[in-house]
Amino acid sequence: MRLEITGLTKRYGKQAALNDLNLTIHEGGVLVLIGPSGGGKSTLLRVIGGLETPDSGTVTLHGERLPVTESGLLAYRRANGFLFQQFNLFPHLDALRNLTLPLETVHGQTPEQAKATAEEALERFGLLAHAHKRPAELSGGQQQRVGIARAVASKPRVLFLDEPTSALDPEMTAEVLELVQELAEGGQRIVLSTHEMGFARAVADQVAFLAEGKVIESGPPREWFENPASEHARRFLSKVLRYL
């Protein structure tokens, strides 16, 4: 993954969610964003994913500048996949229709093509037997897997995941993390934020530590976890790793 971010700033009123943020990634398929709550991880994901427009700064992903026109952003979003903290499944539709609807309306597939694509994705994630269940009939882990299946069904260039296990219990968390790791090992490019440090260390090619709207430091996970350069990162790790 090649990603270059320069001077990125995003404000909500007087609050700077991103504050002149800079980040350069030259290689690796999985970038994991780590840091305290409120540090800017979710906002950065949404900006890189084309869902939020920055106030200033530039984002270049795989050699292409993030579009600034609405039509350009729409095409950019269609090329990528998203799964954020809420599952955002349509509650009145079954699992299969939750996949086929965006494939038809956003990606232009025929109903027959969309059904075949959706069934393939559900089968890949062990969900085909639950295809005709509505979200309320599924467990939290199953709902999240349906959300991931929907995000990857269109074969996205990059999959953006914002705290994909934040609403799950430990058993379901492990189930979803194994699925994400499987996707990464299969070559899916992923940018995700997480508080699961063991998972981050295992799956990331690069980690970026964010706090106060800036990337404090970044690098390969082995180096960062074993020898963080900043005092801010050392304090963070001492807290989150204390009981692991």
Which of 154, 138, 67, 69 shows the shortest CA–CA distance to 103?
154
pLDDT band, residue 136 (cuts 50/70/90)? very high
- Domain residue extents for the chain: 3-80+156-240, 91-149
pLDDT in the model for residue 244: 61
Pick the CATH number of 3-80+156-240 from 2.60.120.10, 3.40.50.300, 3.30.565.10, 3.10.450.50: 3.40.50.300
Q: Is 1's pLDDT higher than 80?
A: yes
Q: DSSP assignment of the chain, as one string?
A: --EEEEEEEEEETTEEEEEEEEEEE-S-SEEEEE--TTSSHHHHHHHHTTSS--SEEEEEETTEEPP-SHHHHHHHHHTSEEE-SS----TTS-HHHHHHHHHHHTT---HHHHHHHHHHHHHHTT-GGGTT--GGGS-HHHHHHHHHHHHHTT--SEEEEESTTTTS-HHHHHHHHHHHHHHHHTT-EEEEE-S-HHHHHHH-SEEEEEETTEEEEEE-HHHHHHS-SSHHHHHHHHHHTTT-
Reported as a single tens digit per residue, the pLDDT across 192-203 is 999 889 889 989
pLDDT in the model for residue 177: 86
Mean pLDDT of the chain: 93
pTM of the model: 0.93
pLDDT in the model for residue 243: 62
How many C-beta atoms lie closer than 10 Å to residue 36's C-beta? Answer: 17
Q: How far apart, in Å, are the Cα atoms of 197 and each of 24, 104, 204, 205, 219?
A: 22, 37, 10, 14, 15
